[in-house]
Amino acid sequence: QSALTQPPSASGSPGQSVTISCTGTSSDLGNYNFVSWYQQHPGRAPKLIIYDVNQRPSGVPDRFSGSKSGYTASLTVSGLQAEDEADYYCSSYAGNNKGVFGTGTKVSVL
Amino acid sequence: EVQLVESGGGLVQPGGSLRLSCAASGFRVDINYMSWVRQAPGKGLEWVSIVFSGGTTSYADSVKGRFIISRDSSRNTLYLQMNGLRVEDTAVYYCTKDTARGWHVDYWGQGTLVTVSS
């Protein structure tokens, strides 16, 4: 049950786009389309922003989009806004009724 | 409105035990998938355990054999009994309500801090 691999940090200027990768294995992300993404602001609980690879919960802006290819999933935040500055975590079903999270990426808005 | 309120965190010595509670409102814990997720200070999220609507449970390898997830339908409360605590179990523990279609967390509690230290 090793954590999914994410880059430690990513950044962009307001209005730009930033893409975060999330790499797994054949035991988890590569074998299932149950990939989700969470946004976490300091001192707050995480919030679901993408589920089932590319689905957005109601209320989440369409600036957030997800995709997956092979063993890597990606989250793209378009039209960056100041409030998008946060930590982002991917997650995947890992088989045998277990889950796994990514290592997390800190997004900075320059 | 769905609400999850954790309690029971605190300071405990290595080898000790603690029971976390998560009082739910707005839905029934016994017919939903419920999990615990933890986050060590300054670190990332770690999946800990899940109880499915049918009662089946599952645990992360790091806590298997030491932690027990359970629920009480009369109190509409989820629990996490933590035994044999280790320093590395120090974390904020979040109670979550999960989807029954797929694998993701729909709702999170505010978390309760468990500190394991001598």
Q: What is the DSSP letter of B26?
A: S
Is B108 in Cβ contact with A46 (below 8 Å)? yes
Shortest Cα distance from B65 to chain A (angstroms)?
15
pLDDT of A1 reads 75
Residue B10, pLDDT above cutoff 90: yes
Nearest CA among A34, A8, A14, A4 for reference residue A105: A8
Kindly give the confidence (pLDDT) of every residue in chain A, 110 residues in length, as a single tens digit, with 9 standing for 90 and above: 799 999 999 999 999 999 999 999 999 999 999 999 999 999 999 999 999 999 999 999 999 999 999 999 999 999 999 999 999 999 999 999 999 999 999 999 99
Chain A and chain B share a number of CB contacts under 8 A equal to 68
Q: Does A23 touch chain B (CB under 8 A)?
A: no
Is A36 in Cβ contact with B44 (below 8 Å)? no
Is B46 in Cβ contact with A101 (below 8 Å)? yes
